[in-house]
Amino acid sequence: MRRLIVVAGTTGTGKSELAVRLAETIGGEIVNYDSVQIYRGFDIGSAKPSAETRSRVPHHLFDLIEADVEFNAADYAKAARETCADIERRGRTPILVGGTFFYLRALLSGLPEMPGRDAAIRARLARIADRPRGPGRLHAWLSKIDAQSGRKIAPADRHRVERALEVWLASGRPISSWERPKADSNAETPALKMALTLERPRLVEMLDRRVEAMYAAGLVEETRALLARYPSSSRPFTSIGYAEAAAVISGSLTIEAAMAETRRRTRAYAKRQMTWLRSERNVQWLDASDRDKAFEAALRLARGTT
């Protein structure tokens, strides 16, 4: 039985702080599963734990890569698996903290051993997709070679349509024929999963305040510096906060409009996270409105399991 603790919850519920306290108390180390905090230099907008916080207990998988380096869920799962194994080897407990539940699932349940991303194929598919009736064509093509995926993936869902076709072109097998390596629940990496929640109105209030704070802390300046270092097409520049800050710099948004848009996107993101979490099984829910009580509860759970 592996000892592995997951701290989940929507943005702004105090996951990082709770996790660090937990790590200090039970001898754990923090492992990030946030897709933006992975990037070096994207600090303010991703609400990355401060250097001070990080000095309290070992933190892993933060600032792992440069913004212009390609990185995906499979890369994450591989890196995280190694990191967790190493922590356990040293007799400590990995405490996973983040909000990218797709990455978390890739780590805990694994991904099928199918072909990865192929730049040439993607370019070819993108060329078709960019044509007038392109997306519809691609979806029709997908339906032809893989009826199941055709039904499951919406024609407008470009990312998924293109990925499904990419797998087909690279392997000659429909994507729906590739299954997770460990489908049975026994193989699933056992983990104690806890999730922090706040009732909607309080959460929204919290998130709004956090966005204000990010801009006040210099999100636009941070973005300007990052844009000087990496191409503006780099992945993390599409993430919440950075996309809007970049728009301010390019002059297409006023600072007020950018903040409003960031607030909007942050709320929508939190909602999606909730949807994901609700579908997740074996989750221990913790009320985030009282941080100390939440911590006590988390500690009891951690001790009961480890």
Partner RNA sequence: GGAGAGUUGGCUGAGCGGUCAAAAGCAGCAGACUGUAAAUCUGCCGGGCCACGCCCUACGGAGGUUCGAAUCCUCCACUCUCCA
Contacting positions for RNA (CB under 7 A): 11, 34-37, 45-47, 71-75, 99-103, 111-114, 116-117, 122, 152, 154, 156-160, 162-163, 167, 175-176, 178-180, 200, 204, 235, 238-241, 264-265, 267-269, 271-272, 274-276, 278-279
CA-closest candidate to residue 48, choices 57, 35, 58: 35
* Closer to RNA by Cβ: residue 29 or 146: 146
* Closer to RNA by Cβ: residue 170 or 249: 170
Q: CB of residue 169 vs RNA: minimum separation in angstroms?
A: 13
Q: CB of residue 27 vs RNA: minimum separation in angstroms?
A: 26
CA 271 to chain centre: 14
End-to-end CA distance of the chain: 9
* Closer to RNA by Cβ: residue 85 or 126: 126
Q: CB of residue 2 vs RNA: minimum separation in angstroms?
A: 22
Q: CB of residue 10 vs RNA: minimum separation in angstroms?
A: 11
The amino acid at residue 189 is T
Q: Please, are residues 52 and 59 in contact by the beta-carbon 8 Å criterion? A: no
Instruction: Residue 158: count other Cβ atoms within 10 Å of its Cβ.
Output: 17
* Closer to RNA by Cβ: residue 85 or 257: 257
User: Tokens in use for 295?
Assistant: 């911590």
Q: CB of residue 304 vs RNA: minimum separation in angstroms?
A: 28
Q: Please, are residues 44 and 236 in contact by the beta-carbon 8 Å criterion? A: no
Write the DSSP assignment of 218-252 as a string of letters: THHHHHHHHHHHS-TTSGGGGSTTHHHHHHHHHTS
* Closer to RNA by Cβ: residue 237 or 295: 237
